[in-house]
Amino acid sequence: MIDFERRTLSINGIDTVVLTAGRGTPLVYLHGAGTVTRFDFAEPWTHQFKLIVPFHPGFGESADDPGVTEIHDFVLHYLDLFATLGLTRVRLVGQSMGGYIAAKVACEHGHLVDKLALVCPIGIPTPGVATTDFLKLPPEQLPAVLAVDPQTVIKHLPTGPPSEAFIAERVKETVAATRLLGAASYDAKLPRWLHRITMPTMLVWGKHDKLTPTAQHQHWAKLLPKAQVKLFDGGHLVLDESPAAVAAIQEFMRA
């Protein structure tokens, strides 16, 4: 388990919780549309980097703001957060919805991103290969959709009746995700701008991803011609299931 330092920062009026661990070059990880599995998979990264994990507004320990209604609001939120933290250049990892945010940051503010890793990202329409609408799935089905081994998720769930705090956090995340992604989990215009991502980029995918089907990586790869592609055993939560994926990102970011 990572011994994170926890800070609460007011970012444009939103109480934003930021976890940090390790030392060295800043490595920012942007999580997906759920935080129940937390971030212990990233422990190896703390040996070589200063790992920075902010909770998005409306997710995890950060406060929600009904005025945050689209992914671009997150882009501006993180520009403010980077400025508050004094970060002028980062190595950026985004997973799932976090990959969507990271791709837009890299498109629009490439001078801030030294290297980029996108892990099973959502965010662009993929002809013939639809992203599963997890917001419409019964909660009991989510573990098997997110991971090859459902225990990857289940082990983080309460074994008895969930606490009020646990329930409140899950409800908050569901409300925020629905507000942000309920109409569409992609930006139809984003594909035309991905050519602006010119920094070294790695595209990481689970070979058995059921939420963003693995075949989607081919469309991303065509739009990111300079990106290297790595496929690993695992599902949508490939970083939780594949230490090799975690190590590959670490090596890429270090090189």
pTM of structure: 0.98
| Number of domains the chain is built from | 1
Mean pLDDT of 28-47: 98
DSSP-derived letter for residue 28 is: E
The closest of 247, 246, 108 to 189, measured between CA atoms, is 108
- Give CA–CA dist 226/250, Å, rounded: 19
Tell me the residue range of the domain where 12 lies. 5-254
The closest of 77, 83, 89 to 116, measured between CA atoms, is 89
pLDDT for 225:
87
As given in the structure block, the two tokens for residue 151 are 């225990």
Q: Are 55 and 35 in contact (CB under 8 A)?
A: yes
The CATH number of the domain where 87 resides is what?
Answer: 3.40.50.1820
Q: Are 202 and 228 in contact (CB under 8 A)?
A: yes
Quick count: other Cβ atoms within 10 Å of Cβ 53?
A: 24
Mean pLDDT of 220-245: 97
Counting every residue, how long is the chain? 255
pLDDT for 3:
96
Tens of pLDDT along 38-90?
A: 999 999 999 999 999 999 999 999 999 999 999 999 999 999 999 999 999 99
